[in-house]
Amino acid sequence: MNCKKLFLFFGCLSLVLFFFSCSSGSKKKESKQTCNPAKPNVVAYVAGYRSFDFTTIDASKLTHINYAFVNSCNGEVVFDTTKIDGKALTPKDIEALNSLKKTNPELKVLASVGGWSWSKGFSDAALSPESRSKFAASCVRMVTQYQLDGIDIDWEYPNQSGAGNTFRPEDVHNFTLLLKAVREALDQQTATANSGTHYLLTIATGADHDYVKNTEPGELQQYVDFINIMTYDFYNGWHKTTGHHSNLFHSANPELDKNSITDAVDLYLKAGVPAHKLNLGIPFYGRIWEGVKSSERNGLFQDAETVGSGIDFVNFAEKINKDGFTRYWDDAAKSPYLWNPEKKTFISYEDEESIRLKMEYLKQKGLGGVMFWEYSADYQKRLQNAISENLIRK
């Protein structure tokens, strides 16, 4: 909800209380969003290319589902049925996700455009008023055709090559203009249909200085309902040194541990994004290094023979404190990791303790909620339950 429209809340909240729950000090206009501190966002990315039964999703603990992914081809958002990992994406996935509203009528289902592999068309789509208008019109078609509640834009990344994508210096401002065009097109659809529906527009964003430097978070935030910060992959598939990939704070070795969730949040707040529009990203996967060359610090911050490949929580959860894998805890970083000295294997990951501390931090900062990647990677819903149990504001 636009925080200027205070009259909608006179029956529930005083002006002072509303100001402190929704304001971050930014003078910029904000998009329409319900600011409800008692019900934080819980946004689940669900991969259409993963083979799992959507009916097993516990929708009662979610506020939003982002279907990953739809593509941007020839400047338009389209449902790409290309096979990924041997599984073809299908519009029936959207029907299955929408059916979860039977158990949670307040659930919102969005289509996420792009992602790491499908961000090639964004720079061209954002380039001119005509191309932005074309892209925005296709977003409207997407939400109306598939009865979606909105669109999530996952451009990886403006003015950066990402997976070898086209990029331009103009991306920095054009991304803001693209979001403006989409916001206006969605609002026009609401007005034309006279439905009163507010279509959501959200984005997934990077968690480092380069991303913030190459975008305009303080400007673009007025067009989006919230921002899902990908606060993970700090150590990742580019690194042949082990490290935390989603640490809350810096470790005791800041020269080796240069990124953290608190750093990322501060970047966005200083850029002018209201706290309640920020969702923390929680990884339901770890990063695994093989052939670690030293047992110092139980394998932490050591050179390895491999880069940090992704490994789903479901694929190693049963190994914690078993089969030679010992769980260690970096108390400075508030981050767990596994070390197997015999196999020389190191895994950085998320667990119930680290999630609890992140939820405490989130509430202290007045952030909007969480998002996580990716639903099917959880093991016995341990991580989802940890989020739900610790996120209720007290």
Three-class secondary structure of residue 253 per DSSP = coil
Q: Are strands 200-205 and 226-229 parallel, antiparallel or unpaired?
A: parallel
Specify which residues 111 forms β-bridges with.
67, 151
- From CA 65, how far away is CA 190, in angstroms rounded? 21
- From CA 217, how far away is CA 204, in angstroms rounded? 12
- From CA 145, how far away is CA 147, in angstroms rounded? 6
Q: Is 360 a catalytic residue?
A: no
Closest CA to 350 of 333, 364, 365: 333
Specify which residues 289 forms β-bridges with.
346
Instruction: Single out the catalytic residue among 156, 216, 219, 350.
Output: 156
User: Do the Cβ atoms of 72 and 135 come closer than 8 Å?
Assistant: yes
- From CA 141, how far away is CA 147, in angstroms rounded? 10
- From CA 26, how far away is CA 215, in angstroms rounded? 17
- From CA 268, how far away is CA 352, in angstroms rounded? 26
Q: Is 392 exposed, middle or buried (0-12, 13-18, 19+ CB in 10 A)?
A: exposed
- Give me the DSSP letters along 197-223: ---EEEEEE--SHHHHHTS-HHHHGGG
Closest CA to 353 of 389, 318, 314, 301: 389
Q: Which residues are catalytic?
A: 156
